[in-house]
Amino acid sequence: MKLVDFMKVDLARDFLLNSKKSLRLRPNTCIFNILVKHHCNNGDLESAFEVVNEMKKSKVSYPSLITYSTLIGGLCESRRLKEAIELFEEMVGKDQILPDALTYNLLINGFCREGKVDRARKIIEFMKNNGCSPNLFNYSALMNGLCKEGSWEEAKQLFVEMKSTGLKPDTIVYTTLMNCLCRASRIDEAMSLLKEMKENKCEADVVTLNVLLGGLCRESRFHEVLQMLEKLPYEGVYLNKASYRIVLNALCQKDEMEKAAKLLGLMLDRGFFPHYATSNEVLIQLCKAGMVDDAVTALFGLAETGFKPEPHCWEFLIEMNCRDRKLLHVFELLDELVIKECTHNLHVGATFA
């Protein structure tokens, strides 16, 4: 309905009601469903229920499964789970409309969002007992709920149960379970799932890999992490800037500055840059670790990307180089500072000219 598209909802409702009275037209369920969906999407559930009450006055426009599913979804989004269940029971008991896997999924997601995973599990059982086989989305929603509350053992059992029904896990399901295992310090099990994905020709995406990189970093398994970063691009696997930043931040937090310097060089070679704050922190920590030469090399590499350190970082770098009597580095740093300032002033002058 174009009136709804142009946010003329009141006009659309008046048109539907008048078409029934004056024009003797009978709008069907599909037309009314557009209004129901609009009101639910805008959180106006009372108006949505008013439309449904109007729909019930005619067999031509009587609420369908889509109508009820839209309302149940709106109630779940508004955290009105009790009313969602009551409406579900009305749909099944009074109107004899059988729910499908999508309708069930709205309830599963709703309960999981509120931390009521036991209720979500009962929805799955109710599905199976009433002739509706849970699909991949139903299992995925429940697994996500289990993982959010840290129930990794139950999540693993659900994963096995899902596969036993003949369903093939997708990237999202694998990644959800991997993240749960990594958070539980069961990184080897998560890595075995990556191997299983490859065997089942299920492609890991950058989110999957970042989950594993984060898990390995939390366990300080930096040798494996750096190997992955080094070889994955050559295997056709895409990594993003977050992949490198996760590892670089972890290396700095653990004072693994030799590895951090090596990773920074790799990042810059591949066109990925650290956060501004991280760049300053890396330079300072390299100096504190006695790696002044590496700090200067890192600075000039970062400078080529337009990076300009904070004043306290500049001061610290020059101070450390003076302390080590590396006057050539000091002059180079000062030259770099002057060039940056001149370039900045020229840019500002051109802007206001």
Residue 91 lies in a domain: yes
Contacts of 225 (CB under 8 A, 6+ apart): 213, 216, 217, 247, 250
Residue 86 lies in a domain: yes
pLDDT over 50 (residue 352): no
Residue 25 lies in a domain: yes
Alpha carbon distances (Å) from 20 to 8, 15, 28: 19, 9, 11
Domains identified in the chain, total number: 1
Which region, left, alpha or beta, applies to residue 64 given φ > 0 means left and ψ of -120 to 50 means alpha?
beta
% pLDDT > 90, the chain:
67
Residue 226 lies in a domain: no
Alpha carbon distances (Å) from 119 to 129, 174, 238, 244: 15, 23, 39, 39
Q: What's the rounded mean pLDDT across residues 27-49?
A: 90
Per-residue pLDDT tens for 170-227? 999 999 999 999 999 999 999 999 999 999 999 999 999 999 999 999 999 999 999 9
∠ CA 343-349-350, rounded to 5°: 90
Per-residue pLDDT tens for 147-173? 999 999 999 999 999 999 999 999 999
Q: What's the rounded mean pLDDT across residues 254-270?
A: 95
pLDDT over 60 (residue 3): no
Per-residue pLDDT tens for 264-296? 999 999 999 999 999 999 999 999 998 988 988
More confident residue, 308 or 3: 308
- What is residue 10's predicted lDDT score, i.e. its pLDDT? 58
CB 300 within 8 A of CB 336: yes
- What is residue 2's predicted lDDT score, i.e. its pLDDT? 46
Residue 36 lies in a domain: yes
Integer-rounded Cα Rg, in Å, for the chain is: 29
Q: What distance lies between CA 283 and its chain's CA centroid?
A: 31
User: What does the CA dihedral 204, 205, 206, 211 come to, rounded to 10 degrees?
Assistant: -50
Contacts of 184 (CB under 8 A, 6+ apart): 150, 152
Nearest to 275 by CA among 253, 301, 244: 244
Q: What is the 3-state secondary structure (H, E, C) of the chain?
A: CHHHHCCCHHHHHHHHHHHHHCCCCCCCHHHHHHHHHHHHHCCCHHHHHHHHHHHCCCCCCCCCHHHHHHHHHHHHHCCCHHHHHHHHHHHHHCCCCCCCHHHHHHHHHHHHHCCCHHHHHHHHHHHHHCCCCCCHHHHHHHHHHHHHCCCHHHHHHHHHHHHHCCCCCCHHHHHHHHHHHHHCCCHHHHHHHHHHHHHCCCCCCHHHHHHHHHHHHHCCCHHHHHHHHHHHHHHCCCCCHHHHHHHHHHHHHCCCHHHHHHHHHHHHHCCCCCCHHHHHHHHHHHHHCCCHHHHHHHHHHHHCCCCCCCHHHHHHHHHHHHHCCCHHHHHHHHHHHHHHHHHHHHHHHHHHC
Burial of 110 (0-12, 13-18, 19+ CB in 10 A): buried
The confidence band for 25, taking pLDDT boundaries of 50, 70 and 90, is low
Residue 38 lies in a domain: yes
Residue 57 lies in a domain: yes
The pTM for the full model equals 0.81
CB 62 within 8 A of CB 29: yes
CB 13 within 8 A of CB 5: no
| Enclosing domain of residue 23 | 15-98
More confident residue, 1 or 96: 96
CB 91 within 8 A of CB 61: no
Per-residue pLDDT tens for 118-148? 999 999 999 999 999 999 999 999 999 999 9
- What is residue 346's predicted lDDT score, i.e. its pLDDT? 39
The confidence band for 314, taking pLDDT boundaries of 50, 70 and 90, is confident
Q: Hey, which of 61-65, 295-299, 334-338 has the most confident mean pLDDT? A: 61-65
Residue 51 lies in a domain: yes
